[in-house]
Chain A
Amino acid sequence: MKAKCYIKGYAAISPQESFSGGFAPHLLTLEGKNMMHVKEPDYSGFIPPNSLRRMSRVLKMGLTAALQCLRNSNAKIPGAIITGTGRGSLQDTEKFLHNIREYSETALNPTPFIQSTYNSVNGLIALQQQCTEYNNTFVHRGFSFEHAVLDSMMQLAEGNATEVLAGAFDEITDEHFYIKSRIGYWKKELTQPAELLESATGGSIAGEGAAFFLFTSQPSDICLEGIKMLYKPSEEEVQQALQNFLSSHDLAGEEIDLLVSGRNGDARYAQFYDNVERQIPDAKVFYFKPYCGEYDTAGAFGLWAAIKEMEQWPANNAVIYNNFYGEQHTFMLLRKVV
């Protein structure tokens, strides 16, 4: 695949003050639970009041991040809309499950069912922007956003689109937090983001967010050079894959000056991050999970954070490495266009 993929614009809704465009990383103080929520922007400038009332939380987050990304990119109708979400609208899925039980399957309101459909955010973006082009949604844990990125790169390579709107969204709810706490997703003791990476126990802090990017074939400041995904790899396979990935772009580990790492304080998977840091020895390392928490599509916040770091810091080559609970591993390579 030969096409160039540049990043024209982006927007993120996250537990940080990200929506306004800046990024001054701030570690939150958690109370009670190992869970962080996004700072929700004022949606009224993006979504008409009638729609706003009906829409559930992640739909508003996803749609607004997408619309803000288009505004920031000075674009209206992209050539494709591609998203990733691990959980879709949890709030609606939960609501419909509860309604089925509460009302014994009778007189159910269809809205939560419709909104629980994983592609509903994509449909809303297309509807609001009147975009009738390619539209796709990936729903695969730590390969949701990542395949949205690969699909975008293919769209550009095929020449089907010159601008692709790609992004990801996921929310955390109390109910889902509890469910995942039963199978070790989160740390048992209250852990502050500032202490997350020093932890020697399993689990992480739950997070959420929505981030969108406008990928284009027209040159701009930062180029997404490539993406490599690995499914349930061994440590050796990850090391080999990173080496091959870098050399396929004529780079050595020493030439990478920024490593944006998805290290999440889960001691069970720390070795993967340790190895990558050893292979990229001279880079400044930025750990993004203390700022957004762990979720299926945290990699999208990772890409957003990498771009912000590259804008503020003289990095020419940046690698993003993330894995989701040791199963889905991804490398991305960003290069500053000089």
Chain B
Amino acid sequence: MEIFLQQLINGVTLGSIYGLIAIGYTMVFGIIGMVNFAHGDVFMLSAFIALLLLLLLTQMLGLPAGLAFVPVLFGSMCLTALWNFVIERVAYRRLRGSFRLAPLISAIGMSTFLSNFVTVTQGPNNKSIPPLLNKIIPLTSGGDYDVTLSYKQILIVAVTAVLLAAFWFVVQKTSLGRAQRACEQDAKMAALLGVDVNRTISLTFVIGAALAAVAGSLFLLQYGVVKSSDGFVPGVKAFTAAVLGGIGSLPGAVLGGLAIGLVETLWGQYFSSDYKDVAAFSLLAVTLIFMPSGLLGRPDVEKV
């Protein structure tokens, strides 16, 4: 029971990170109907940017790690947003009128480029930082297994919750959100009505990247290690989360993220950690095949 509780906590933490990445997938899919395959690698890149900024601030400027984390998070968000802005301009913008698989193929190319770009510039090995923010709160004690909750985990879940609330507000209440929803429905009509479609799409990519950067920084904080191939598997899992939650739906993305995080940790605990990726990938296949509109998505009526 204690072990289950502990894995539940770990699963929610991991799930929050997946959820943050999944929002990027779901928003881009919602607005231009494209699976942004490179998003996982954007996440990985953001973790590297955070890592380098952290080292820069702690080693060069001598800031304490705890204090450095806030500017690191902010810097990583900005720089990753710039990356994704450029990626959209370079790799996707021209393809909106192309054949239907063109954006996906371009995104696969971009994903391959990004992961190898980081390999080339930073080397293929694990990069680990000394653990940060190590305080833990024991929840149970005295048993043979103590359930703990770390400050990091609290921080991760809290940041996810706050960001989700903030972006929910943006999409529901602001003119940007209205423009986004208008482009989702009918980009041509939105353009005729004076919505700057290009700007809206760019902003969507920028927001998605900023959230991925938060996820990347939190990932680094929680696990303390990152390598250049870390974009692929978390990316696919986050995509699974987006599909499971119902692609296009923001709360769905977070819900899906939590579900994937829980499945992964519980599977790793009770079955086999070697096969935990198999569990996630199978879940992806099963979801796409049997419930492609997910938990909170709208059913997709085929237009004839």
Check if A and B associate: no
B interface with A by C-beta (< 8 Å): none
